[in-house]
Amino acid sequence: MKNRLLNSIGNLPRFWKRLVLMAFDAVALSFALWAGFSMRYGSWTPPRTGEELLIIATAPIVAIPIFIRLGLYRAVIRYLPERAIWRILQATTLAALGWVLLVFLSEMAGRGLVPRSVPILYWAIATMLIGSSRFLAKKALWSTNASQIKFRPILIYGAGNSGAQLVNALRREGTQRIVGFIDDNRALHGRDVAGLRVFSPASLPNLISQYGIEEVILSAPNLSKDRRQEIVASVAGHGAKVRTIPAVSDLVDGKYLVSQVKEIDIDELLGRSSVPSDPELIRQMVEGKTILVTGAGGSIGSELCRLIVKWAPQRLVLFEANEFALYQIDRELRALHDPAIVPVLGSIVDSTAVRRAIQNHGVQIVFHAAAHKHVPLVEANALEGLRNNVFGTRTVVDTAFHLGVERFVLISSDKAVRPTNVMGATKRWAELIVQEKAIRADREKTGQLFCAVRFGNVLGSNGSVVPLFKEQIAHGGPVTLTDPQMTRYFMSIHEAAELIVQAGALSEGGGDVFLLDMGEPVLIRDLATNMINLAGFSVKTPGNPDGEIEIVVTGKRPGEKMYEELFYDDTNVSVTRQPKIMRSLQQDTTDRDVLDALAQLEHALLDENEVEARRILFNFIRQ
């Protein structure tokens, strides 16, 4: 019966809820004033004369407008914060003072009807009734939902100011049971912060076991990356899910919202040092320019587009062969920004479509990101990989050169260094094609700049290992590795896009090949283990047969390398003004070599002679 009544009130329209609250306040205030008189005279008889009733009625008549003005009826009772008591105290104080003023102006006090102690008693009783009614209603409304809420036991790592604010936000949401804090500061161990006990990190295994902790929220946004990695590794290793709050600089007025608690990104565990981008380089490359991005709907291409539109280009041309991918990125960019965006549906092997896109829109800068990048698929479809990655690149480069494009930036790959697969070899050929055109531009003094940017894997890109691992973990495993000793370089896709644009601005001619600093290579098995732990699971091993997700080794795939390299010769590299970008000093070929080899490769492709095409593909770049 009680729950039905509360649910009925809770389901009323907002207007009727306010009327119910005002009616209650009118009764409560009238009672408070009558109780004040009764306590003063020691007689609890109800008012009998019209004059007495008028005096009692003046209490809500004065108070209700004040309550409305101070916002007491705007607050949602279910989410009423504790600090609201101060607003209630302010409202009842003003209501009592207003009533006293009315009494003296109407000369009621002079007729002996209102003793001086009554206003004080009225204020005290009214404050108690109005304040307690709000918080009792809040508790009652929450209790009606208690049976429908699954309270998850959680710990908060970090008992500082951000942790205390997070506790308040979580309590308002009311769907978690906060067991306590974990903190590195020994001075806080055993003490209470925001009403919760602070434990040492050594207590974590016992707390998880004793309370069934499902989640640990990392609430220490200003930690160094190394310490953050240690904490995340130690927490995730005990089978609890790990989430974090954003940096303080990302939040408004230091107020934390439950919706801002986010998953730990795997790139937070890679140990990469953060170097700010050089805004002058990005501005020089983008601002006021007409830019074309090939492969605009792909992982790297779309991120480049998101970055470019933030820096006020004159026009951004999205060149993409996949209709749906083009639709998606075009719609996203138009919703977020308002530059002139031109979607062009076409393939890079179609010279007419490429020429039309560059010529019709007066393109000044080209970022060539379009390519087939999935190693096993390109290995199994070698002729298509050659057609797209090598001759598609030749088409775009030749067209850009003949139409006077100012700068051309090829997005290359670390797999282009000593390649063992078709994809890597085609990327190396693409670099050489760009160098050939750069040499010709220098010789003919056209002022055009052609360069390539080489880097490793980006997290979350289409076809990369991270989305695959996420999908496998979501399905309960197993997580598949080709070899437990395999390593790869990783960087975030946003960082890669920023560095690509900056590298384009650093080009000085001669077919520069820029190398992005990828940090230390990551053991793929460690990456898989960290992702499993971050998801709140443990790895099933011979030493831990009760683990939830197993890592299975499937064996190397055709053309797959155990490790990747960024340099042919790491002594032949110079540092640029951007510490994360290096320039290769090596010129590997001449324009005659590339053109002759391209003619031979094209002949094998037209004959659909895959064996001969593979031979030419690898033999030329091994010279």
pLDDT band for position 49 (cuts 50, 70, 90): low
Cα gap 406→509, rounded to integer Å: 11
Taking residues 129-141, report their average pLDDT: 75
Hey, what are 5's tokens? 């009544």
Could you tell me which CATH number the domain at 152-250 has?
Answer: 3.40.50.720
DSSP 546-601: T-SEEEEE--PPTT--SS--S-S-TTSEEE-SSTTEEEE------HHHHHHHHHHH
Decide if pLDDT at 544 tops 70.
Answer: yes
580 HSE (CA, 13 A, CB side): 23
Q: State the pLDDT at residue 259.
A: 43
Of 488, 484, 347, 360, nearest to 415 by C-alpha is 488
For the segment 413-451, what is each residue's pLDDT rounded down to a tens digit? 888 888 888 999 999 999 999 999 999 998 999 999 999
Is residue 284 a contact partner of residue 505, using CB atoms and an 8 Å limit? yes
Cα gap 549→539, rounded to integer Å: 5
First to last CA, the chain: 87
pLDDT band for position 542 (cuts 50, 70, 90): confident
The 10 Å CB-count burial string (b at 16+, else e) for 201-230 is: eebbeebbeeeebbbbbbbbbebeeeebbe
Cα gap 518→524, rounded to integer Å: 15
Cα gap 372→383, rounded to integer Å: 11
pLDDT band for position 563 (cuts 50, 70, 90): low
Bridge-based pairing of strands 340-345 and 522-523 is unpaired
Q: What whole-number percentage of the chain has pLDDT above 70?
A: 77
Cα gap 316→312, rounded to integer Å: 10
For the segment 349-358, what is each residue's pLDDT rounded down to a tens digit? 999 999 999 9
Decide if pLDDT at 264 tops 90.
Answer: no
Bridge-based pairing of strands 196-199 and 192-193 is antiparallel
Decide if pLDDT at 515 tops 60.
Answer: yes
For 176, the 3-state DSSP assignment is strand
For 189, the 3-state DSSP assignment is coil
Is residue 300 a contact partner of residue 308, using CB atoms and an 8 Å limit? no
**In sequence order, which residues have a C-beta less than 8 Å from that of residue 177 and are 6 or more positions away?**
151, 152, 153, 154
Decide if pLDDT at 223 tops 90.
Answer: no
For the segment 493-506, what is each residue's pLDDT rounded down to a tens digit? 888 898 899 988 88
Q: State the pLDDT at residue 186.
A: 85
For 608, the 3-state DSSP assignment is coil
pLDDT band for position 250 (cuts 50, 70, 90): very low
Q: State the pLDDT at residue 257.
A: 45
Q: What whole-number percentage of the chain has pLDDT above 90?
A: 24
Strand order in the sheet with 407-411: 340-345, 315-320, 290-294, 365-368, 407-411, 449-454, 512-516, 581-584, 573-575
**279-622 shares the fold of 152-250:** yes
Q: State the pLDDT at residue 363.
A: 95
Cα gap 141→206, rounded to integer Å: 35
Cα gap 591→438, rounded to integer Å: 9
Q: State the pLDDT at residue 143.
A: 56
pLDDT band for position 565 (cuts 50, 70, 90): low
Of 423, 402, 400, nearest to 413 by C-alpha is 423
pLDDT band for position 16 (cuts 50, 70, 90): confident
Domain limits, the chain: 1-143, 152-250, 279-622
The neighbouring-strand residues paired with 317 are 292, 342
Q: State the pLDDT at residue 591.
A: 47
Lowest mean pLDDT among 12-16, 522-526, 532-536, 575-579: 12-16
Decide if pLDDT at 340 tops 80.
Answer: yes
Type of residue found at 146: A
Cα gap 133→139, rounded to integer Å: 10
Cα gap 431→454, rounded to integer Å: 9
φ/ψ of 491, rounded to 5, equals: -150, 160
Whose tokens are 């600089």? That residue is 249
Type of residue found at 254: G
Q: State the pLDDT at residue 214.
A: 77
Bridge-based pairing of strands 581-584 and 215-218 is unpaired
**589-598: Cβ within 8 A, 24+ apart:** 589/432, 589/435, 589/436, 590/436, 590/439, 591/436, 591/439, 591/440, 593/620, 593/623, 594/432, 594/433, 594/435, 594/436, 595/436, 598/390, 598/394, 598/433
The 10 Å CB-count burial string (b at 16+, else e) for 306-326 is: bbbbebebebbbbbbbbeebb
pLDDT band for position 603 (cuts 50, 70, 90): very high
Whose tokens are 């593909």? That residue is 617
Taking residues 170-194, report their average pLDDT: 78
Cα gap 573→583, rounded to integer Å: 6
- Taken in order 170, 171, 177, 181, the sign of the CA dihedral is positive
235 HSE (CA, 13 A, CB side): 33
pLDDT band for position 248 (cuts 50, 70, 90): very low
Q: State the pLDDT at residue 614.
A: 92
Is residue 232 a contact partner of residue 534, using CB atoms and an 8 Å limit? yes
Q: State the pLDDT at residue 166.
A: 78
- Mean model confidence pLDDT for the chain: 79
Type of residue found at 3: N
Question: What are the start-end ranges of the E strands in 333-483?
Answer: 340-345, 365-368, 407-411, 449-454, 457-459, 479-481
Lowest mean pLDDT among 88-102, 168-182, 355-369, 376-390: 168-182
Q: State the pLDDT at residue 151.
A: 63
Hey, what are 480's tokens? 């598949």
Cα gap 503→495, rounded to integer Å: 12
Decide if pLDDT at 43 tops 70.
Answer: yes
Taking residues 26-53, report their average pLDDT: 78
Whose tokens are 């409304």? That residue is 141
Lowest mean pLDDT among 97-111, 261-275, 529-543, 577-591: 261-275
Q: State the pLDDT at residue 338.
A: 64
Of 301, 309, 410, 405, nearest to 359 by C-alpha is 405
Lowest mean pLDDT among 38-47, 158-167, 226-235, 516-525: 226-235
| pTM of the predicted model as reported, rounded to 2 decimal places | 0.64
Is the model more confident about 526 or about 325?
325
The full length of the chain comes to: 623
Cα gap 406→110, rounded to integer Å: 92
Say whether domain 279-622 belongs to CATH 3.40.50.720: yes
Decide if pLDDT at 345 tops 90.
Answer: yes
For 618, the 3-state DSSP assignment is helix
